[in-house]
Structure 1
């Protein structure tokens, strides 16, 4: 009896879990893998799952699926929409949604393993299934590696991963070389001097400092990065103050930085830090800003030979027209840590989750950004 993948998907979508809290999801994935005959290990890298299926002599392929959801309140209106809440690392109660499609990734993995097991007479080697936590924090792959998975399980000859995205259904996007950007998350605490809102001259206003810093940071890419290069500097969070007539002592910014390679990463980080410190000096801040790295993700770089083989297999299975070069994605991933630490080649691809007719109409009208919800949107529904 085959697994009802649609039922599995809708169940996972209804019950999303935040990063490193994916106990229910991990348990469901582990149970299915165990039922399919895999050797299963749980609690790896806190909530991760490893399944091993040895099928004779041959190469070892690591197949990775991430499983965490996001602190997003769902607005899709689907009959199986999430109404779940969770507590984030700062202790806040937040809506939780699979706004990035990781529920689809786990479902696809279970379906793929089911087929591999059923057709084991057609291939030889070892499959290592990696159900990874906390991709959204950029921490899950590292947590599993730090838990010793390279020593505890068969060493990979290749690492394979995939991600659902708003391409038309039936489309696979894959390219050799850089596939996704490197990323750093920064937290910046700007120190001012608080006081009464009626006496700004007696203070050093960190909100004004923060505003000046944010605006100046926009010039890093627009004025200091070659237009031929790709870089992103985003201030995604700003927190300061408690009341309208109190000038607070501090302001906290959180930044997301993206770049295609380590060389540009070094340049952008240097420029961002220069702007932050210079604006603090210009505002008369009496303490240096505190700049903390929240996470660092390497560029996702596909091995050329392995990608050519994968693309040829996709074309054979789905038709040449189905396989496209999607270009470099400015999003970031932690899957490449598995390949980098093991020395194995990586192939990471995208597959379409958007209605082809709606996508085509929106593309013709030039309204893709408006009509097709992207990953991390509260309306994202593959």
Structure 2
């Protein structure tokens, strides 16, 4: 038997508690920087498997180190946080949780694992257990890192700033994965830029309030916000070259409290995704120019205010590392492994290997039931019929998603540890 098959022979033993861990974490999601319960669960698992465990790294981060003789050091990472989304999956283990919003304003919001971080936790916990049980089949050091606050883009940097480099031996490679709305059981790799950089912006425009029956006395920020949203649609379509890629989404508009009261301000929140530095600079500049011009056209009494937040780095997979992982996946998964296109979603994982000065790769695992996905694909309705990450209806099928994610982590790690 190969090292991979020998280590993965224990999957029959880990599968029951992995599935239960997944359902437990899904039922009890925690927002960014609030992952105390989840962190306690994974710390207990790592400690029980014989890892040296460091807790509260950068807040709620957990790092396990398993030293097993000479050889490479491999870092495997999973994220733990959930989203302020009200679950609509109808699952028996669906979340009913609410909690204080992670932005610190104290509002009570629904909480859901709408981005598969619960699956990431279960997969890495299982892979760590399998590698700990199979130490006779590999040599080196394994670092299992459970990261908080990926959704706010500052969890990885928080762990780095808290002294991660002093807690773990410097890895030769860092590896991570994400469950996405693809066919369950499949894995996909991509060399080079695979996930976009992202910048969120909060814009406050100031009008002049009045009675709803007296619009002539007002500068209506609701109308102004609507004009801004419409005009922003031209940034990508008319200011970004067709050969470049950018996404601009206005995800939130907040203004007013009553139907017959014109408010004195409106707040817009938008997100920009880009793949190169020049476009990343140009799009926010265009946004600011348009907002200022619309405010001037409306006769606003004050200048608009701009705030950048939730900033994510570009995820740019190292070519050699990706090639090595892709070859290992092809050997193990066969036809279920293949190329993946780059995605306009964003991640902060790369902040960790960048700070440590090591190469990395980041791959995708499908999580949609094969029959559901194939039917949607055959009908040309994947975009309409398959819930995607961050949707209230997104819920990966438990199997083969967990098995595939666990296998992928083990296979990738052993591409260095078993060499």
Q: TM-score, normalised by structure 2?
A: 0.89
How many aligned residue pairs are there? 381
- SS at structure 2 position matched to 1:167: strand
- SS at structure 1 position matched to 2:94: coil
CA contact (8 A) 2:76 2:175 kept: yes
Residue aligning to 1:136: 151
Residue number among 62, 81, 91 corresponding to 2:75 in the alignment: 62
**2 CA distance for matches of 1:173 and 1:209?**
44
1:237 counterpart = 2:237: no
> Deviation of residue 360 (structure 1)?
1.1
Residue number among 340, 351, 372 corresponding to 1:337 in the alignment: 351
1:96-115 alignment, distance < 5 Å: 96-115=111-130
Residue aligning to 2:336: 322
Residue aligning to 2:194: 179
Residue aligning to 1:42: 55
Residue aligning to 1:346: 360
Q: Report Cα offsets for 1:9-41 as digits up to 9, x if no partner.
A: 111111111111111100000000000000001
Residue number among 366, 372, 383 corresponding to 1:358 in the alignment: 372
Gaps of 5+ in 2: 1-9, 397-419
Q: TM-score, normalised by structure 1?
A: 0.97
> Deviation of residue 245 (structure 1)?
2.0
1:208 counterpart = 2:230: no
**2 CA distance for matches of 1:127 and 1:269?**
41
Residue aligning to 2:403: none
Q: Cα RMSD over matched residues?
A: 1.3
> Deviation of residue 255 (structure 1)?
0.6
**2 CA distance for matches of 1:166 and 1:77?**
18
1:226-305 alignment, distance < 5 Å: 226-305=241-320
- SS at structure 2 position matched to 1:287: coil
> Deviation of residue 202 (structure 1)?
2.2
**2 CA distance for matches of 1:325 and 1:230?**
20
1:313 counterpart = 2:328: yes
> Deviation of residue 222 (structure 1)?
1.1
Residue aligning to 1:368: 382
> Deviation of residue 367 (structure 1)?
1.2
Gaps of 5+ in 1: none
**2 CA distance for matches of 1:92 and 1:6?**
32
Residue aligning to 1:19: 32
Q: Report Cα offsets for 1:90-122 as digits up to 9, x if no partner.
A: 222222111111110000001111111122122
**2 CA distance for matches of 1:362 and 1:207?**
39
Higher helix share: 2
- SS at structure 1 position matched to 2:372: helix
